[in-house]
Amino acid sequence: MNVYDGQRIAVMLEKHGLSQTENLEEADLIILNTCAVREKATNKVYSALGRIRRAKKTSALFGIVGCVARESGGDAFKRIPELNFVLGPQSYHKLPEIINNPDTKLLNIDLTGIEKFDELPQITKSPTLAYIPIQEGCNHCCTYCIVPYTRGREISRPFADVVKDTINAAKSGAIEICFLGQNVNGYKYTDENGKLYRLSDLIKEAAKLPEIQRIRFTSSYPTEMSDDLIEMFGTEPKLLPFLNMPIQSGSPRTLKRMNRPDDIEVYRNIVKKLKSVCPDIQISSDFIVGFPDESDEDFEETLNIAKEIKYINSYSFKYSPRPHTAAALMPNQISEQIKSVRLQRLDAQLNENQREFNMSCIGKEMVCLCEGDDKTKRHLVFRTPYMQQCIVEKPDGDIAPLQKIKITDANKASLRGEIIK
């Protein structure tokens, strides 16, 4: 989501005559696009702002946009008085106001609408992978999560607007699209005639576009995996056989206190249904270890489910208490030391899953999307349909971004392959 927001900000500012620089000292405008999901990310923002304050030109305007802006509000100006703007995730389209009035302080952390989508200029050149937001905010209120506070209540964008953005991305260079939302599979939009549209309708519409070869979406809430959506994995070849569907914990007791679906059988059944329509599907999850009052037994259940479902490409985090969340006030917070040990043990399991899956790919042929050069500039980096990284010797001359690749080698982090001529 932040990558997408960053791209839109860049296009908007180009329309105002600005161009991008990587060089802090020469910048006239410095924007930190921020994430508040864990405390570490928020702390990083303030240390970066301190560094920027010292290194920037005196005349340069600087500020923060996104979730830390929303969380800090006017307090950000108290912590760093030189800041020029603090704009929440639904109001970064107001950035040009600070360019037009550089002597003012701009604060807007309003979350009431999503008019930013109407006000932002359309992109004219899309990356091969285009992110298309279809929904903002979240109503699920998981007790650890700051997102409902920072991004607001759930709003689905009008179907016609999303289709327009998808066509625009396809016509301007996109080959893969990733529909985005905090609760993406909960997308629901009813038009003026009372017709209800869901994520499966968006996938069908996008699949009609010849330019679009790969479709995916993130991030999903398990019990929003409706049957129409599950079926798409069996019927729509452009929908990649890979799904991020976070479980967070394998312990019903912990899930209940997280305010998440706490019947593990429900998760198992969704996975079973997905595998029955698409036997090749792979599932990824996010995990939180050390949630308040998590016992050794609770944690063992998380390890067991990671092993059982064989999640690949997963993310794992130590629980981080966040302001405005219920879990931050719960008793029996877990020590950092225990969280670290649990994270290490979970990561060992997730790495083992990944290694096993990567090894099973050797000898297979997969259509992969090119992401560009690796650091050495001697290889190209591709993404497989399962989001694995695949490194390929760079051929002479230009090649099309989608290539059929034979996987020749693998380790736990990535694959190696050869382009099939």
Q: Would you say 38 or 198 has its CB closer to ligand SAH?
A: 38
Cα–Cα separations (whole angstroms), residue 87 to 24, 63, 68, 388: 20, 8, 9, 35
Our finding on whether 286 is near ligand SAH (CB under 6 A) is: yes
Q: How many residues bind ligand SAH (CB under 6 A)?
A: 16
Our finding on whether 320 is near ligand SAH (CB under 6 A) is: yes
Q: 350-389: which residues touch ligand SAH (CB under 6 A)?
A: none
CA atoms of 149 and 324, how far apart (whole Å): 7
Output Rg (C-alpha) for the chain, integer angstroms. Answer: 22
Q: How far is the CB of 138 from ligand SAH (least distance, A)?
A: 6
Our finding on whether 89 is near ligand SAH (CB under 6 A) is: no
Our finding on whether 319 is near ligand SAH (CB under 6 A) is: yes
Q: Which amino acid is at 371?
A: E
CA atoms of 221 and 223, how far apart (whole Å): 6
Q: How far is the CB of 151 from ligand SAH (least distance, A)?
A: 9
For the four alpha carbons of 288, 289, 290 and 295, in that order, the dihedral sign comes to positive
Choices 234-242, 314-322, 351-359, 370-378 (CB under 6 A): range interacting with ligand SAH: 314-322
Q: Would you say 89 or 246 has its CB closer to ligand SAH?
A: 246
Q: Would you say 267 or 319 has its CB closer to ligand SAH?
A: 319
Q: How far is the CB of 37 from ligand SAH (least distance, A)?
A: 4
Our finding on whether 206 is near ligand SAH (CB under 6 A) is: no
Among 72, 91, 248, 384, binds ligand SAH (CB under 6 A): 248
Our finding on whether 144 is near ligand SAH (CB under 6 A) is: yes
Q: Would you say 62 or 144 has its CB closer to ligand SAH?
A: 144
Q: Would you say 63 or 186 has its CB closer to ligand SAH?
A: 186
**Nearby residues of 396 by Cβ (< 8 Å), 6 or more positions away:** none
Our finding on whether 37 is near ligand SAH (CB under 6 A) is: yes
**Nearby residues of 295 by Cβ (< 8 Å), 6 or more positions away:** none
Largest interatomic CA distance in the chain: 62
CA atoms of 310 and 92, how far apart (whole Å): 39
Our finding on whether 299 is near ligand SAH (CB under 6 A) is: no
* Selection from 18, 33, 7 nearest residue 120 by Cα: 7
173: alpha, beta or left? (left if phi > 0; alpha if psi -120 to 50): left
Our finding on whether 347 is near ligand SAH (CB under 6 A) is: no
CA atoms of 56 and 25, how far apart (whole Å): 5
Our finding on whether 238 is near ligand SAH (CB under 6 A) is: no
Our finding on whether 189 is near ligand SAH (CB under 6 A) is: no
Q: Would you say 13 or 327 has its CB closer to ligand SAH?
A: 327
Q: Would you say 39 or 205 has its CB closer to ligand SAH?
A: 39
Match 């508040």 to its residue by tokens.
36
Our finding on whether 42 is near ligand SAH (CB under 6 A) is: no
User: With the CA atoms of 12, 14, 17 and 21 taken in that order, what torsion angle do they form, in degrees rounded to the nearest 10?
Assistant: 130
Q: Would you say 61 or 178 has its CB closer to ligand SAH?
A: 178
In order, the DSSP letters of 210-257 are: TT--EEEEE---GGG--HHHHHHHHH-TTB-SEEE---B-S-HHHHHH
Q: 150-179: which residues touch ligand SAH (CB under 6 A)?
A: none
Among 148, 246, 292, 417, binds ligand SAH (CB under 6 A): 246
Match 């996008």 to its residue by tokens.
206
Our finding on whether 317 is near ligand SAH (CB under 6 A) is: yes
Among 8, 38, 216, 383, binds ligand SAH (CB under 6 A): 38
* Selection from 413, 410, 401, 411 nearest residue 368 by Cα: 401
Among 182, 249, 254, 414, binds ligand SAH (CB under 6 A): 182
In order, the DSSP letters of 17-42 are: T----S-GGG-SEEEEEE--SSHHHH
Q: Would you say 72 or 248 has its CB closer to ligand SAH?
A: 248
Which pairing describes strands 155-156 and 135-136: parallel, antiparallel, or unpaired?
antiparallel
Among 34, 143, 156, 219, binds ligand SAH (CB under 6 A): 219
Q: Which residues bind ligand SAH (CB under 6 A)?
A: 37-38, 138, 144-145, 147, 182, 219, 246, 248, 286, 288, 317, 319-320, 322
